[in-house]
Amino acid sequence: MRIERIPLNKLKEILKAQGRSQKWLAQQLGKSENTMSLWVTNQVQPGLEDLYRVAGLLDVEVSELLVERKDLN
């Protein structure tokens, strides 16, 4: 039985909209490409500190990186 993951972040969409790659983001954060792939595919969620760093790099508010609760239903 496969459990479907509920997307909790919008990293993939924001990176695409800005024309940036997850490889670029990984390099900026000093993270592995594997870690970034897990974040972008919502298999693992970044910690709060990392979310703030990502928001700064992408020039967005942290709230823009997250899926709103009402969108989960």
Q: Which of 44, 45, 47, 59 is nearest to 14 (CA)?
A: 59
pLDDT 10s digits, 6-41: 779 999 999 999 999 999 999 999 999 999 999 999
21 near 15, Cβ under 8 Å?
yes
The class that CATH gives domain 11-57 is mainly alpha
Per-residue confidence (pLDDT) for residue 3, from 0 to 100: 55
What percent of the chain has pLDDT above 70? 88
- At 36 the pLDDT is 97
64 touches 26 (CB < 8 A): no
Domain boundaries defined on the chain: 11-57
